A and B are shown apart, each in its own frame.
Chain A
């Protein structure tokens, strides 16, 4: 139905229709919530591998990083094939991307890792490919995955060149002091220009042109060369098995039968079944049931040793017990936890409601199951007079929100109403009474209903992001205007070659959460790319705006907005509401107000004629049916003062613009 929030065009950039992204028949449609357990158990019966034959010198831990659609997953497929990890067939497409949403969008949401065995010049190497989510929404996960690596393969499309996400990914790896192997992919394409891309890489990343490897992952060209460089350039991990156990949790999944499966990288020591371990974050103690490696399915081993990467199962019941970035150590042998751990911090909030309230319990259980696998989503119960009982969910970013919603639809067959995303504002309180009430002087405002009045506040703060835009130069003018319109401040501008420019802007987050990317894509004919990272909070002139219907406030449409944007936002909301409310017997004033001041108004005229012309024998049955349905529908109307508002009117106003 119309209310169902479909996959928005918002993130169309992730990948258009592309054969490589197509799901592989029915196998790609995963059963509810079993993402983590679609692994092959038969391997458990096999002879366990003795991991002690792989000392640190023979180990290479690395990731592949790339802008979306530049071929990260295809290269991973080839590496898996060439090392015999998976059989070589033409059906190996995005082998590590197991979710339907990943295959459809051509993105990686949930990282999967794989251990590759590779013999070179008589040495048996253990190459651990640690997959990373491909988007900055998952920046934290990316940084944790990278911290388990000593090097990365940076993939750049020979045709598109460096894009915004390439830049962001490069700096993540660079700051982590990892060895970087630049790879220029898709050299088979007709318009590819590897020389230009090599120059870009040299200019922007200071990597000599001759270090780039030109490949075609699709056709398997030069893949051996990549493996050669991995062994040659990436240093082996410098950890000792004789040290106490120190294991980094860099990912976790949930299996309905076995509980949490934590992906770990050993920074020291060894681990095996029966060991008693402790989480540095929760201080909880567990007994290890199983350890093993991922190939990419789970393959149990006797032990895991320092420098190795694998999984462990230790009776953890919830993914929150194996938080990404946590350190595990041996009971009674505490170690200094690995740096960089932080709990997931939601940046974008949205209300989620069942399309039909009778679906509430089903949606609740679907949410519970999906969040088992994604501990970064925060869930708070919420309710709205118009939309009924629901939740306010916090996401790491917009893509995260889209993906979460898509998974709900695809894996749990749930249609939901998703309200327009909002960002977490903050207020520095000046009122002693309020400070006492909250027990602190700075509060986070997720819901406009909690917005404290100006005279109780010394300062409002809004979240910002540092955005990177890479664009062909001819669009710069328009893009600068767009950014200024979004209250963004330019931080940097750099020509990465004769034609392409990289721009850096500090954006208020709320200015990009709804339709910024669409606008950017449309004014650059699809050529500009965009990425962003957390930019901290800044002071902002915020106000709360009410929407009134014939003078009565509509609680669910109250909005926090920047003073400069109040008029435009108010006008927009009034116009949308006008389109969404049917005419009634009397005139309706739709107003946007700040305090008592009206800043925008739309008038919905009264019906002057609404009566069916013909009503004779044959028309009566049809007429009565319609009337009864309308009478029934009236009971679902929300009455604000004397105005009747259909429930879907709020949905049409609240939902994101791209779903119009």
Chain B
């Protein structure tokens, strides 16, 4: 859902703030594109659905219902399949949320971002901390054990103590899934411009490391499993949809600017492609009406590229890149053959950043925090 009510100061997503919207038209196009693409990918069974954005909670529940029904018409969508909707605290009153539940949504991810009003203002959020609390509480009632909340850290001017206080408050509020994102100053956002011009301080590297480390400790102490760089879950409440990205499984992206990774058998191909839909909603709709879908870019992913993704994404998780998964993409050359040989991976193992055992290649806790510094070296080794 590419629409938002206002621009947040840190967000560089493909999103649009429009005064009026013909929701019926958008709905019809989403339905049409879902069906076209599922057919194109010869998708038999849908294992998870994720409504992201933009602000999907601004959509009417029956739009969500229509998309799910459309999917169920062309592919098997088993009862109980994880269906997540991203929601903003400002558009999550209980009746609206109940509508989503009735439409088939069974997991909710709430963009709390912060529980400090001053920070929320800096981020350009349209909700207050109190509204965020109310939203989480309402969601937990409707989606018990299936409510996630997002928090941001590393805001300009934020102190370690401030972050720890906010996290503590969030732990008192949250359900069984939390995502903690270090703020990325994206080019083209207001926040980035303020920092670049010196109007706001740039958070120091060491402080960010301390914030991340202390958050990990606090969440693990609260019984959470740190299962991905920024994601924590307890009682097995992992997001199976997001896990599928990190496990380099196939997914179909529907809607303006959506990304997908699948084999478009219906187009006569047998190779996985990276596909991107047209970003602008109006153009997207026009094209969907004309040819059923609006794929803007298609790039065939070769074996090396797929392995690069398996590696770069898998190492973000606590399970790492398993031998089994690697074998699916590289039947000839095993993980051990690639990374067990003398080279970068071995040096990283000696340094205590990486582990390779009979089950998987994965990061140590220290290594996970510096994964991006390791990946170029590992990609070099893979290329050889």
> A residues touching B (Cβ–Cβ < 8 Å)?
583-586, 605, 607-618, 620-621, 623-624, 627-628, 630-631, 633-635
Contacts and interface: CB of A to CB of B under 8 A. Distances in A.
Given A607-B370, A621-B259, A613 B182 contact: yes
A584 B374 CA distance: 9
Given A584-B373, A586-B351, A630-B376, A612 B258 contact: no
Nearest to A616: B245
A612 B368 CA distance: 11
A627 B245 contact: no
B143 interface: no
B174 to A, nearest CB: 18
A611 B368 contact: yes
A379 to B, nearest CB: 37
B369 interface: yes
Nearest to A619: B259
B117 interface: no
A611 B313 CA distance: 12
A615 B313 contact: yes
A617 B372 contact: no
B258 A608 contact: no
9 contacts: A585-B348, A585-B353, A585-B374, A610-B370, A610-B371, A617-B245, A618-B13, A631-B377, A631-B379
List 7 tightest A-B contacts by C-beta distance, closest first. A608-B209, A630-B376, A631-B379, A609-B209, A613-B181, A631-B376, A611-B371
Given A585-B348, A609-B369, A610-B370, 11 more contacts: A583-B373, A609-B212, A610-B373, A612-B372, A613-B181, A613-B229, A614-B181, A614-B230, A627-B312, A631-B375, A631-B379
Given A585-B370, A616-B242, A621-B274, A608 B205 contact: yes
Residue with the greatest number of chain B CB neighbours at <10 A, chosen from A611, A616, A621, A634: A611
Nearest to B212: A609
A620 B353 contact: no
Contact of B308 (A607, A609, A612, A628): A628
Contacts of B69: none
B206 to A, nearest CB: 6
A610 B372 contact: yes
A632 to B, nearest CB: 8
Nearest to B373: A610
Contacts of B208: 609
B320 interface: no
Contacts, number: 109
Nearest to B184: A613
Nearest to B244: A617
A535 B305 CA distance: 64
Given A585-B374, A611-B229, A624-B305, A634 B242 contact: no
Contact of B376 (A607, A612, A618, A633): A633
Contacts of B14: 618
A624 B308 contact: yes
Contacts of A633: 376
B276 interface: yes
Interface string B81-95: 000000000000000
Contact of B370 (A608, A623, A634): A608
B251 interface: yes
Interface in B4-57: 13-14, 52
B312 A623 contact: yes
B343 to A, nearest CB: 12
A586 B374 CA distance: 12
Interface string B357-383: 000000000001111111111011001
Given A584-B373, A585-B370, A617-B245, A624 B312 contact: yes
Contact of A631 (B229, B251, B253, B380): B380
Contacts of A583: 205, 373
A17 to B, nearest CB: 28
B111 interface: no
Contacts of A608: 205-206, 209, 213, 369-370
B104 interface: no
Nearest to A642: B347
Contacts of B184: 612-614
A611 B376 contact: no
A634 B377 contact: yes
B126 to A, nearest CB: 21
Contacts of B230: 613-614
A630 B372 CA distance: 10
Contacts of A617: 52, 245, 251, 253, 258-261
B293 interface: no
B42 to A, nearest CB: 20
A631 B260 CA distance: 24
Contacts of B309: 620, 624
B226 interface: no
A615 B316 contact: yes
A627 B313 contact: no
B286 to A, nearest CB: 21
B317 to A, nearest CB: 11
Nearest to B152: A613
Residue with the greatest number of chain B CB neighbours at <10 A, chosen from A608, A609, A613, A634: A609
Interface string B299-343: 000000100110011001000000000000000000000000000
A631 to B, nearest CB: 4
Given A617-B251, A621-B274, A635-B380, A607 B229 contact: no
Contacts of B316: 611, 615
B257 interface: yes
Contacts of B377: 631, 634
A618 B374 CA distance: 22
B375 A620 contact: no
Contacts of B181: 613-614
A617 B241 CA distance: 10
A610 B316 CA distance: 12
Contacts of A607: 205, 370, 373
Contact of B379 (A614, A620, A621, A627): A627
Contacts of B379: 627-628, 630-631
A586 B379 CA distance: 19
A475 to B, nearest CB: 33
